[in-house]
Structure 1
Amino acid sequence: MAHSPGKYADFEGLKEQAAALRRAGHSLRQIRDELKIYNNDILNQLVKGEPPPEWTKRPRAKDDLRARARELRLQGWTYDQIEAELGCSRSSVPL
């Protein structure tokens, strides 16, 4: 993708800096503030291919419930039994 000269003329240099910050464990907000990049499209292009740090990933509300439902299902419990045991809806039970 070609980038026009201007505010982000040194796109490759910014990309290297953003990648280094991402590898150092920075969030997108921290990278944005550090590099003064306030355009989300540009920011996402700069960190494309760099995985987010683990600490920025939030657990989902029912992750633990679904994990327990999977365990019970593998033990041969029926959906009705799991639903009654965990007090959850039927939609939370399937693998």
Structure 2
Amino acid sequence: MLLTIEIIGIITMIILSSVSVLSFIMINKILSQLKYKNYLMEKMTQNIYMIASKKDKETCNKLFDEYNDTNKDECKYKDKNKDTSKI
């Protein structure tokens, strides 16, 4: 009776040890995949930010150019009015 309890205890310890080792290996693999996934997400976020910044700069430059063009037209109009008022 005592021998069977010892054998069952040894088998249980072997099973628990093997499950612990396998779970440790799986957890390490899962964590490495999560790190890789986070790395890829960070790279994607940086690229999207760079693209958005580039588009924002292009849009800002385009609006600035349009604004300057309209101001030049207004200045020409004001200059013409000033010239006619002197006469």
TM > 0.5: no
Q: Identify, as 1 or 2, the structure richer in helix.
A: 2
Q: Which has the higher contact order (CA 8 A, sep 6+)?
A: 1
The structure with the largest alpha-carbon Rg is 2
Q: What TM-score, normalized to structure 2? A: 0.24
